[in-house]
Structure 1
Amino acid sequence: MTYLKPNALKPTTADAPHVIIVGGTSGLGLALARHHQQLGWHVSVVGHDRQKIAQINRQYPHIITYRCDLTDRAQTHEFLQRLSAITFYRLVYSAGSYTNERVQTLNAVDSTRMLAINLQAFEQVFWWASERLKQQPTSFDMRQYGKPSLICIASIAGALDYPYASLYAKSKRAMIATASAYRLALRPYDIQVNGIASGYIDTQALRDLNDGDASHKPFIISTQIAVQHVMQAIADDTELAIFPRAMRYIIYTLNSVPKPLLDWVLRSQLDKNNK
């Protein structure tokens, strides 16, 4: 079942482009929604938490909200069919699910949820969005708004290539690879695709996972700084933006280490059974 805010106010700029942000009711997704709104875009966000949606309805009446359970493939399909009535210029997939597999054993519920949101729903939404953008005429000034675009918000965990990766990291790596394939496939249509692999962002979700304080996380950045990085990556049409810079250098260095050695080091450092 989906939810559309019935009393949504429309932006004052009737000729503005429209961005849809899946997973846009909190964290980086909501920050990107607010940023696009400030730029004059029409903004729609998709989430599953009723309280978060209600809060956005109160605080940001110009943002249109939808409710959809991305773990339900049939519901997601029905939702996307309804959403096909909307003409959009950019779609951002920012939804995600995380379980710390280094601390606790992955159970069936968490495994199913992570795979559904981080990979299966992502592929479902990206396929739908790519087909829609291919069919829609481009009516906006690309010098002002850039090309029609699909943006994949993955994780720096997916940028590291090593055998001993968690389900979360493997699903995020699959997202990055999928976005790269779409980038190549959609180039003839003049549609850009960008992957985002960020390090730690100081969101409420991350704080909740760390007893209310995530300041100890290495190279953590604010959502405002993360938004700047994402928007710069879109403006520069970067295939895969890895940030912050220190984390990008670390990833490049680790990816140059022989895989057996990297696997051994990470097993010894991360495996909960060795603690």
Structure 2
Amino acid sequence: MTDVINPSYTNTSSTPHLIVVGGTSGIGLALARRHQLQGWRVSVVGHNQEKIKTLNQSHPNMITYSCDLAHDIERRKLLQQLSEVGFQRLIYSAGSYFNERIHTLDRVQSDQMLAINLQAFEHVFHWASTQLKRQIEEQPVICPATHTVSDPKLGLICIASIAGVLDYPYASLYAKSKRAMIATASAYRCALQPFNIQVTCIASGYIDTQALRDLNKGDASHKPFIMSPEHAVDNIMQAISEDTELAIFPWPMRYITRILNRLPKPVLHRLLRNKLDK
């Protein structure tokens, strides 16, 4: 069931409002905190009750919503609730990952990964773009040439993965869904340009979050070019500020993927299959 967990939240229309879908931990929470430090009102959507409880205690000024994004009815109820709340920026940071190289996906895992990484993302982005366009149509103004924290450009941001940047047949379901996310964000950016609505997609490398450490027996330091959440947030905020279409970082990974994508598909397929299967 979709619930507003922190009803003490108050709406201050003069303060810009951010919604982070998938923001109770990891990079989503780090982005929520950074925006709050910059003076934004922040609403966070999550499904883990313990994380929501902890967040309410540590950040009582954030409003939290509980929703299983993979559940269609819950997702629709959530968006119906959020339709009553104006916002200037939405970040889709929800994600689901299972290591398909080690374990064969069962039906539940396959459905979960597709639902969170692609289907819910598409649903949320469709809803959010409609809401922002409605704001513009109901309150038409001349769009300023520059924007500030108190008067930000309306925007949609999604957190994809550098795994979605490479185009090769052996890609996992996770990589394919993130690649679809990148393509979808690009289409929205083109479609929303006449409305002066920003769309930015983030395709980062490894970030040293608790989730990544949990997947690597508590230590992910061996991952190539791994970065701290603070460094990742710096890169993301810069990409948002500069209205970047697709932000790929850290820079070594950006150049590596650029080189790999220039290889003939059979060579790339063989190279990555040998590497990923080890």
Mark yes or no: TM-score above 0.5.
yes
Tell me which of 224, 227, 234 is aligned to 1:218: 224
Count of residue correspondences: 271
The answer to whether the 8 Å contact 1:8/1:63 transfers is no
**Residue aligning to 1:144:** 148
Which residue does 1:180 correspond to in 2?
186
Q: Report the equivalent of 1:5.
A: 5
1:39 deviates by 0.4
* Residues 165 and 257, structure 2, Cα contact 8 Å, conserved in 1: yes
> In the TM superposition, what is the alpha-carbon distance from 1:10 to its structure 2 partner?
4.3
Q: CA deviation digits over 1:40-77, x for unaligned, max 9?
A: 00000000000000000000011110000011112101
Matching residue within 179, 191, 197 for 2:197: 191
Q: Quick check: 2:164–2:203 contact (8 Å CA) kept in 1?
A: yes
TM-score, scaled to structure 2: 0.94
Choose 139-148 or 179-188, whichever is displaced more.
Answer: 139-148
Whether the aligned pair in 1 keeps the contact of 2:43 and 2:64 (CA below 8 Å) is yes
User: Aligned partners of 2:253, 2:178: CA distance in 1, in Å?
Assistant: 16
What is the CA distance between 1:251 and its match in structure 2?
0.7
Counterpart-to-counterpart distance in 2, 1:14 and 1:126: 23
Alignment of 1:72-91 (within 5 A): 72-91=71-90
Q: How far apart, in 1, do the equivalents of 2:74 and 2:49 lie?
A: 16
Equivalent residue, structure 1, for 2:22: 23
Contact 2:208 2:220 in 1 (8 A): yes
SS in 2 for 1:143: coil
- Whether the 8 Å contact between 1:10 and 1:42 is mirrored in structure 2 is no
Detail structure 1 runs of 4+ shifted over 3 Å in the superposition: 6-11, 137-142
Which sections of structure 2, spanning at least 5 residues, go unmatched?
none
> 1:262: Cα distance to partner?
0.5
CA distance in 1, matches of 2:47, 2:103: 25
8 Å CA contact 1:202, 1:223 repeated in 2: yes
Q: What secondary structure does 1:111 align onto?
A: helix
What are the within-5 Å matches in structure 2 for residues 21-100 of structure 1?
21-100=20-99
| Structure 1 segment 122-161 matched on structure 2, within 5 A | 122-137=121-136, 142-145=146-149, 146-161=152-167
Give 1:250-261 correspondences, 5 Å limit.
250-261=256-267
Q: Distance in 1 between matches of 2:110 and 2:208?
A: 25
% same residue: 63
CA RMSD of aligned residues (A): 1.6
User: Secondary structure at 2:211's aligned position in 1?
Assistant: helix
Q: Distance in 2 between matches of 1:235 and 1:175?
A: 21
1:229 alignment counterpart: 235
1:266 and 2:265 aligned: no
SS in 2 for 1:193: strand
- Kindly state the Cα deviation for residue 151 of structure 1 after the two structures are TM-superposed: 0.1
Greater shift, 132-141 or 98-107, is seen at 132-141
The 3-state SS of whatever aligns with 1:144 is: coil
Match of 1:207 among 208, 213, 223: 213
One-letter code aligned to 2:105: L
Per-residue CA distance 1:67-123 (angstroms, 9 max, x = gap): 000111121012101110000000000000001111111111110000000000000
Q: Please tell me whether residue 239 in structure 1 is matched to residue 238 in structure 2.
A: no
Structure 1 spans left out of the alignment, 5+ residues: none
Q: Distance in 2 between matches of 1:198 and 1:3?
A: 31
Asked if 1 retains the 8 angstrom alpha-carbon contact of 2:6 and 2:62, the reply is no
Letter in 2 for 1:2: T
- In structure 2, the CA distance between the partners of 1:246 and 1:144, relative to structure 1 (3 Å rule), is same
